[in-house]
Structure 1
Amino acid sequence: MTNKNLLIGYGETLVSPVTLKHGGGDKRYPYEFQAIRPRLSTLIDAAADQVGTANPATVPHGEAVVEVTLHPAFLAKSYFPRQLLNEFDLRHVGSKGRFIRPQVSLRKDPPEGGESAPVLFVAGTQSSLRALEGGLWSERLPAAFRDDYRKIEDFQVSGAAGKIRQIGDGKADEHVDLEVVLHAGTHQSYVLDGFVSWASQCGAEVLIDKAIYVPMLTFVPVRIARSQIDALAEYSFVRVVRRIAPLRVHRPVVVRAATVEQTVSVPSEAAINSDMSVALFDGGIGHDRLQKWVDEYTWPDTKGTTAKLLMHGNAVTSTVLFGEASSSEGELPRPYAKVRHYRVIGKANGGDPDLFDVLHKIDWVLVNDQPQFANLSLGPCLPIDDDDVHVWTTLLDHRLSNGRTFATVAVGNDGDDADPAMCRVQPPSDMVNAIGVGAANSSGNTWDRAAYSCIGPGRSPGLMKPDGVAFGGSASEPFHVYDPGQEEVIGVEGTSFAAPHVLRAAIGVAASLEAPLSSTALRALLIHRAEQHPTSGGRQVGWGRFETDPARLIRCADNEAMVIYQGVINPGQPVRAKIPFPDIPFNGKVTVQATFAFTTPTDPAHSLNYTKAGLTVVFRPVEAAKKTLPFFNQDSFDSEDDLRRDAQKWEACLSRMRRFNPSTLKDPVFDIEYLTREEGRAMPAKDQVPLPYVLVVTLSVAGTPEVYNSVLQKYKTLQPVKLATQVHIRT
């Protein structure tokens, strides 16, 4: 790779604090307090009666979980009735979204499918609920509490039927393996102890030693007769009961494996950068032919294996090392880095239905080894759920929130399922702190989503899933991969190979630079450089087809300047980021492309408010003027089922391209504001921590080849990135 027109760094030197004015007014309420009192009193009183008559074994310490549905006008976290709940000794233990038709809508044209409303999970005793109902009639009730009551649309005990998901059909006496989610943090052991006792009464076996704990939630595998599932779900602190899905690698991901008439040899050199740590979680290697670049780690229960698992593990590993082999020209390219292959599944637990063993192994590696790069081409074979985050997504997103690991995850191969509900992306590819990768059917100029590749949208936030696609093979154009087990090139297809193909590109960028980019910067760069599809939207291909050539990811044309900003924004202090704008005549329209990305802590118990951090970004085409223009609004998802108010600012990635007449721009800027929330509520500024963020901006002008050099001449603090080696980078 040459030094010509490389990615420009130090964009953060163009960022400075700014003071922003915010408008606003009194909040509109759909109901008057006097009018809503009788209805709320009846609802709360009925809920208290249900708690009082419940089987004591299902309400530990006399506590039950009720669902408080707020009016859709109060979707934002800052409107949650925190003071009211605290006053009557009620605990907010989680939240989710629900589409409802409120009795009174504040929207001019309410959508036919209903409006998105927040549902709060609240824990309390019968006496607390009685006190809440009595507060409605208190003459000394503060005005703020009256307003909190006015936000409530519905109030009910969480019913058993609403907790049961994706169980499927079967005989009543058949035993099934379940994943049970409890509203319980590690400090609330009485909730878990009570559940184990109740499950025993239902004839269930609780595998408590495999339980997984995340903030405010506990995930535990349970084996129970199908006829007793309804009874199990009566335990008040049960949030979700779902059947445990099979491991995704069990589906024949290598759909068409065939030897390709192509002779190649492996390189003799060591990896370009031996200091980087790369973790691959898969089915194993089983030989030492790649020992120059691969260390394999096994557990006692994964030493036994199968040919299918080894074939999958070898193909994934080979993709990370050598890439797609159709252009190898006799010798495979030199790997960018050594990798460690963790055989997390073997013959012994290959039939284990709970998948908790596999997840515990992956978690152990992320906590103890903290790799810089990771790939998962496996996971539970089921579509994501809007209401509740799966245990795989919950735990791994939590681990990746430290920003140390760049991770790619295959979205699954059920995109051609006859059931539309099963076509959706699969856990844990819906993580907000990782890249979910789908498959494209061709590496050529004309491409589309591969028919088998799962589609979006993801949950909100995290709507844009898959994040993008990469060539993963198709019947007409297989993905060529070197099979070290057979020492030959084979043709395969699957998102299992698209994901490590993208990981290899990120590793290649890191290996080629003197100062490696952060995991967030690599994620932003890949999304920024993704090739948009001319017709397919975000549901099909996300941000587009990922560029898998590291050289093209960090190289600019003469008529464009791509600048990366790696900054930190403080709470309560908005900043202004200048977009490099050269002082030269423009011979055509100006294109501004921008991508914001950050790594965020997550709130597993609050699927409605899953990300704890967010950014509000305002575009000003002329820095000195007050005029602003929308820049990041998404029209790939334009239905009420996809979008909700207040959602976009909490997305962990925003990307968009806009074209302008040169006369409408003069030193354009982005004004950026950092928002936070904790457990679905606004967080005081004093409790907030600085947020690292990445912004990638490309300014290009048609017919104007002087753009790149002119930007560097005008902005002296900007410098092209430096290459660590002059090794020719191959794909």
Structure 2
Amino acid sequence: MIFDGGIPASTLKVISPWVSLIEPVGLGKADSSLEMHGLAVTSAALFGPLKPDKTSDTPACLIDHVRVLDQDWQNDIEAWAILDRIDQFLKKEGENYQLVNLSLGPDMAVDDDEVTRWTSVLDDHFATSGHLAFVAAGNNGARDSEAGLDRICPPSDGVNLLCVGAADSRDLNWSRAPYSAQGPGRAPGMMKPDILAFGGSLTARGLFPQGFAVLEGSKSATVTQGTSFAAPFALRTAASVLAQRSNELSPLAVRALLVHRAEQGENDVKEVGWGRIEENPLLLVTCDDNEALILFQGKLPVGSFLRAPVPLSEEPLIGTLSITATLVILSDVDPEHPGAYTRGGMEIVFRPHDQKINIDKKSGKRSFHPKTQSNFFSTKDYHDVPEQVLRSEGLKWETTRKGQKNKRLGTLRNPCFDIYYNHRDEGGKNSDPQQIPYALVIGVRSEKDHQLYNKVLSRYRNRLIPIKQQQRIQVGR
């Protein structure tokens, strides 16, 4: 589902096999310039960047385009009427969708001390709806940095929404597009943008600029740029994964996979967040022979902890192992307390060796759990966050964490991650906490052992279920 400015009638006829236009009751007349924006956003979700003189890629899913903008949009300074239309539609029809795209919102940078109504309303909805929402970060990335005017725009600062910035290239040599809004986000929700996807750049950084080609009419295309197109392009990848993986993956699991496979390259995390996504849906969920990718999904228990084993083979492994873990949760929010905005949080610790136990020097008492590796989830990615915030909170109220370590085989024995669910209400104790959804991705990789996947699968054949690809089918109405 896409919320935007509509689609010109002449072009809608051409893309009608895949797109339906929905216009809520009471909406004013369409604005032709906003219809062109809506068409471009829908084109990005359907086909990705169009390729000159080549057949477009097959759409990954059907799309309902909900027009929420009309000719009076400029008179709505804070765009509350637009938000109300989105909120009403989500409440009435939202259960029929898994993926949502928002390439619109107030043109203003996030403020650390204020949660906008746009952010709080949508965060509250997506905390429990089961949707995965892709939100454009904003095109204000070239504004005054010292004044913070280049930071992401609401509602992309939401903790339950995926903030998508724009990369300037699809090549190996890439960076944040100059216009794409930067982080950090608010605390909690500091790692923003969450991800980057190609959004085009008409500014030549190398030999040639790479624009984002979209439909301009029924038989024509134009080249453009913007986070408005990066967001639906990322949604297209997610739709392809869900379409080919039956009901095995939740939208939250797809979000975790997008973050897990994202690569920061040599870029500043303030500019790219967790990094540019892997846009090939097949590479998001499949493993090389020297790799095992394990997904856990469900709900975090209240008053206990969840232990997720790192699957290793009983057979001898070769070389050093790279272990990467990505954890994502959904949380209820408290907009009246910006500093304690998330009501749910988590702490995740890595226990590499089950026989290495802490022993109290005075009492000789042995700890109940194995030793932890305290720096698995480093704070280095939060270098622009005040030290007092990191020390006092320890990132335990963030909704996304990602870490990676290289481990020698001799330091590993039945390794695992333990996840502890934190909860609060108005910054204090929550007397009635509820379970919250989570998705955890663990990746194990060896540069030398090209039988790693088969070894792990052999050992855990009765406990791990391989994700199977469905047969590709033609999408159309």
Please give the TM-score of this superposition, normalised by the length of structure 2.
0.90
Deviation at 1:516, TM superposition (A): 4.3
Q: Structure 2: where are the runs of 5+ without partners?
A: 358-370
Deviation at 1:704, TM superposition (A): 0.8
Task: State the alpha-carbon separation in 2 of the partners of residues 368 and 489 from structure 1.
Answer: 35
Task: State the alpha-carbon separation in 1 of the partners of residues 264 and 73 from structure 2.
Answer: 40
> What SS does the corresponding residue of 2:249 show, helix, strand or coil?
coil
The match for 2:434 is: 689
Deviation at 1:639, TM superposition (A): 4.9
Deviation at 1:357, TM superposition (A): 0.8
Task: State the alpha-carbon separation in 2 of the partners of residues 625 and 463 from structure 1.
Answer: 34
Q: Is the 8 A contact 1:293 1:335 kept in 2?
A: yes
Q: Is the 8 A contact 2:167 2:276 kept in 1?
A: yes
The match for 1:408 is: 134
Match for residue 629 of structure 1 among 354, 364, 373:
373
The match for 2:455 is: 710
Judged with a 3 Å threshold, the aligned counterparts in structure 2 of structure 1 residues 369 and 508 are, in CA distance, closer, same or farther, namely: same
Report whether the alignment pairs 1:641 with 2:363.
no
Report whether the alignment pairs 1:722 with 2:446.
no
The match for 1:396 is: 122
> What SS does the corresponding residue of 2:164 show, helix, strand or coil?
strand
Aligned residue identity for 1:695: L
Q: Is the 8 A contact 2:347 2:421 kept in 1?
A: yes
Aligned residue identity for 1:722: K
Task: State the alpha-carbon separation in 1 of the partners of residues 247 and 54 from structure 2.
Answer: 32
Task: State the alpha-carbon separation in 1 of the partners of residues 65 and 384 from structure 2.
Answer: 42
Judged with a 3 Å threshold, the aligned counterparts in structure 2 of structure 1 residues 671 and 458 are, in CA distance, closer, same or farther, namely: same
Deviation at 1:638, TM superposition (A): 2.8
Judged with a 3 Å threshold, the aligned counterparts in structure 2 of structure 1 residues 395 and 304 are, in CA distance, closer, same or farther, namely: same
CA displacement, residues 261-292 of structure 1 (integer Å, 9 cap, x when unaligned) = xxxxxxxxxxxxxxxxxx11111102222111
Match for residue 308 of structure 2 among 566, 577, 600:
577
Deviation at 1:300, TM superposition (A): 5.8
The match for 2:112 is: 386
Task: State the alpha-carbon separation in 1 of the partners of residues 192 and 316 from structure 2.
Answer: 40
Please give the TM-score of this superposition, normalised by the length of structure 1.
0.59
Task: State the alpha-carbon separation in 2 of the partners of residues 605 and 502 from structure 1.
Answer: 32
> What SS does the corresponding residue of 1:325 show, helix, strand or coil?
coil
Alignment of structure 1 residues 587-598 onto 2, 5 Å: 587-598=318-329
Match for residue 562 of structure 1 among 282, 293, 318:
293
Task: State the alpha-carbon separation in 1 of the partners of residues 56 and 385 from structure 2.
Answer: 49
Aligned residue identity for 2:169: S
Deviation at 1:305, TM superposition (A): 2.9
Alignment of structure 1 residues 15-94 onto 2, 5 Å: none
CA displacement, residues 394-429 of structure 1 (integer Å, 9 cap, x when unaligned) = 100001110421100001011111353210001000
Deviation at 1:582, TM superposition (A): 1.4
CA displacement, residues 569-596 of structure 1 (integer Å, 9 cap, x when unaligned) = 2211122211011133333221000001
Judged with a 3 Å threshold, the aligned counterparts in structure 2 of structure 1 residues 520 and 402 are, in CA distance, closer, same or farther, namely: same
Deviation at 1:640, TM superposition (A): 5.2
Alignment of structure 1 residues 306-321 onto 2, 5 Å: 306-321=31-46
Task: State the alpha-carbon separation in 1 of the partners of residues 222 and 216 from structure 2.
Answer: 10
The match for 1:700 is: 445
Task: State the alpha-carbon separation in 2 of the partners of residues 316 and 632 from structure 1.
Answer: 36
Deviation at 1:517, TM superposition (A): 1.6
Report whether the alignment pairs 1:652 with 2:399.
yes
Report whether the alignment pairs 1:549 with 2:280.
yes
Once structures 1 and 2 are overlaid, which stretch shifts more, 282-291 or 314-323? Answer: 282-291
CA displacement, residues 404-456 of structure 1 (integer Å, 9 cap, x when unaligned) = 21100001011111353210001000011110000011000000011111100
CA displacement, residues 524-581 of structure 1 (integer Å, 9 cap, x when unaligned) = 11000101222x2321100000112111111111100001001322211122211011
Once structures 1 and 2 are overlaid, which stretch shifts more, 465-474 or 487-496? Answer: 487-496
Q: Is the 8 A contact 2:248 2:467 kept in 1?
A: no
Alignment of structure 1 residues 245-284 onto 2, 5 Å: 279-284=1-6
Match for residue 418 of structure 1 among 120, 144, 151:
144
The match for 1:171 is: none
Match for residue 537 of structure 1 among 268, 276, 284:
268
Task: State the alpha-carbon separation in 1 of the partners of residues 40 and 91 from structure 2.
Answer: 26
Deviation at 1:519, TM superposition (A): 1.8
Q: Is the 8 A contact 2:199 2:212 kept in 1?
A: no
Task: State the alpha-carbon separation in 2 of the partners of residues 439 and 311 from structure 1.
Answer: 20
> What SS does the corresponding residue of 2:282 show, helix, strand or coil?
helix
Match for residue 420 of structure 2 among 673, 682, 689:
673
CA displacement, residues 502-523 of structure 1 (integer Å, 9 cap, x when unaligned) = 0111111000112242121111
Backbone CA RMSD of aligned residues? 1.8
The match for 1:7 is: none
Q: Is the 8 A contact 1:403 1:519 kept in 2?
A: no
Choose 1 or 2 for highest CA Rg: 1
Match for residue 506 of structure 1 among 232, 238, 241:
238
Report whether the alignment pairs 1:429 with 2:176.
no
Say how many residue pairs are matched: 447
Q: Is the 8 A contact 2:299 2:438 kept in 1?
A: yes
Match for residue 473 of structure 1 among 194, 200, 208:
200
Q: Is the 8 A contact 1:592 1:700 kept in 2?
A: yes
The match for 1:377 is: 103
The match for 1:336 is: 60
Aligned residue identity for 2:3: F
Once structures 1 and 2 are overlaid, which stretch shifts more, 658-667 or 374-383? Answer: 658-667
Task: State the alpha-carbon separation in 2 of the partners of residues 339 and 559 from structure 1.
Answer: 37
Task: State the alpha-carbon separation in 2 of the partners of residues 365 and 500 from structure 1.
Answer: 19
Deviation at 1:672, TM superposition (A): 1.6
Once structures 1 and 2 are overlaid, which stretch shifts more, 455-464 or 337-346? Answer: 337-346
